[in-house]
Structure 1
Amino acid sequence: MQDPGLLQDGLELMTLGMGFVFVFLTVLVISVTLMSRLIGRYQPVPAALSTDKNMHKPAATSSQDDEVMAVISAAVHRYRTTRRS
């Protein structure tokens, strides 16, 4: 049962597999590093955010807020009445 040739074949296969994985991971790390550098070099500079106070105003008016609140309240009321029955 202890064939030295079989053990040697197994060790060769293990070495080949581990070598392949090592080479693949090395190529992967190098390619990701290169892509990161390329993106950093050619990526456009983000536009500066304006600190204008007009941008911080809410888009919805108070009448729209009241309408949304009424619709939500009606939906909750209807849900609760159908669950009690």
Structure 2
Amino acid sequence: METNLVLEGFKFMGLGMGTVLLFLVIMIVCMNIMSYIIHKFFPEPKASLDTAVNTTQDNKKIIAAISAAISHHKQG
């Protein structure tokens, strides 16, 4: 009885890689379904205009702090 070990190796490699691929596809589908269900029953709250203004002001403060830190580093 003569068997080609290389061919058998490729068969096992294909089986293993196919199993991993199938698992990953099933996992991605389940995660998408779970995400859809969570977003359906627990939607994210809408941002109000006040929140948007505060975020813009916070961003300006962060930019000013970063600019000051870079300026201080170059001087020193």
Would you say same fold, with TM above 0.5? Answer: yes
Gaps in structure 2 of 5+ consecutive residues = 59-63
Q: CA deviation at 1:19?
A: 1.4
* Greater gyration radius: 1
Q: 1:48 is matched with which residue: 36, 46, 58?
A: 46
The residue identity in structure 1 corresponding to 2:36 is G
| Match runs of 1:30-69 below 5 Å | 30-43=26-39, 44-52=42-50, 55-56=52-53, 58=57
1:15–1:40 CA distance, 2 compared to 1 (3 A): same
Gaps in structure 1 of 5+ consecutive residues = 60-64, 80-85
The residue identity in structure 1 corresponding to 2:13 is G
Q: 2:25 is matched with which residue: 17, 21, 29?
A: 29
Aligned length: 64
Segments of 4+ moved more than 4 angstroms = none
Q: Does 1:16 align with 2:15?
A: no
Q: Which structure has more helix as a fraction of its residues? A: 2
Taking the aligned partners of 1:55 and 1:13, their CA distance within structure 2 comes to 59
| Match runs of 1:68-79 below 5 Å | 75=72, 78-79=75-76
> TM-score, normalising length from structure 1?
0.53
